[in-house]
Chain A
Amino acid sequence: MEIGEKIRVLGSAAKYDLCCSSYSKDKAGICHSFLPDGRCVTLFKTLMTNSCRNDCKYCVNRCNRAKTKVEFNAKEIADITLKLHKQNVIEGLFLSSGISGDEEKTMEDMINAVRVLRYEKKFKGYIHLKIIPGASKYLVNEACKIADRVSINVEACSSSYLNEIASQKDFKNDILKRMLWIKENKVRSGHTTQFVVGAGNETDREIVNFLAKLYDKADLRRGYFSAFSPVKQTPLEKTPAVPLKREARLYNVDWLMRIYRFKKEEIVYNDNGNLDLNKDPKTAIAENEREKYPLDVNEADFNELIRVPGIGIQGAQRIITAQKAHEKITKWEQLSRVGVVKKRAMPFLKVNGCVQKTLGCAV
């Protein structure tokens, strides 16, 4: 099979793995192109092989699904990555694999491919390596040494939910234990994980609580969410796709917890334990704490400001610097100038003693 065709087959098999932005400690990744699905292309994302012994119900590579079996060797992966990197169409490599023989052999092949790229071809770009569930501690350590970032997918938020969709994987031993080994290694750009949202019956509350636990105990850099989308010739092919909005809301909450330091207990859910798809989680939290508002924009501190819907980290920083310079914000227009989304922030702020509870109605 020609190289181009191999890329098409193995790239298509790897595309559902979304946890691969190329952010490193030193610098943010660069987007070299954009896809019609709104994502950007920063890495050459591929599998070593699409042949897999596992029978995960949601997966495009599951063993019982008819497909052309294709595999790359280490040299092919290194050559393609280097060529694309020199054209400046990618920043690096994202390498994952189906488990063709046993976990050890698969993980070893992947590490070997990265070694060829790093040491023989002297590649200095970014490498994200997937850890195969069940791989030995030695190989996990090796992977952590050689890659910029590693990840192992938890897929679900508990052992029972994982059993529903991927019965061959042991949640605690194959995944969580490996995650703790990764934590010990302190990988350059940290480690990440991914949830398949909606393949099981888990609620958003369960996902968010489990993710918060991973941030706390496993030193996770960030979690990714992939809304379940049915694949033909799988047991879940007739299960309806999960709306992308649910995925987006989970990302909103994840952002609130990681960047804005909201606590998991503060997140507002509906009676079913899911997030409201039609309301921004930050607004829902602010409305839940109505007694704290309106805030005087010239007196509020940074931690209070970032909790206001429509005010981001930068906007809050600018307001604080204006406060330090003894410059009073007296008009709503000034807030727009420092990057505040006026429409969303208005009901929660007091400017010049005035509160605008609804648009066009100053109180």
Chain B
Amino acid sequence: MNKPFQAKADFEHIFKEYFEPLCNFINKYINNWEDSREIVQNTFFKVWQNREKIEVKTTTKNYLFQASKNTMIDHIRRSKKEVELSEGAIERIESQAIDIKIVDDAMIKKAIIKGMSHLKPKNRKIFELNKFEGLTYKEIAQHLNISERAVEDNIARALKSLSTYINRDDNFYK
């Protein structure tokens, strides 16, 4: 039997690992960050209330993403947000299985953010300029007065380091 939410210490660990990617996952549907946070809070609250009874048959990750989606559907129906999503759209969301790629995308992004602190300073800076600021390799090269080839090398090394970090991070696979 897999009852991962029973002990408070375990629950805290799970909360801290999944809270942020769950908020981003829900936000993809409803595009409202505050409501997304509240939905995820409510999800964890319900899980905490039922922690003795919940038995996870798949993975903790899958359980939490599905539970959050269900809470989101309830939230949409109850708070009369149908003006933004039609009833037909709500039913479609409800009936569709969660795309595992979306789940993994949220988790990978969380891992990238966390892993960036382990990058070498130059790799990190160039990675940020490209991925967060949206600068092209040419623009970064001009900005830092280096070659485009050097920019490419730094990005590639950053991706390799992050890949190593993510593959080592146990939480991603749960």
A and B interact: no
Residues of chain A whose beta carbon lies under 8 Å from any beta carbon of chain B? none
Residues of chain B whose beta carbon lies under 8 Å from any beta carbon of chain A? none
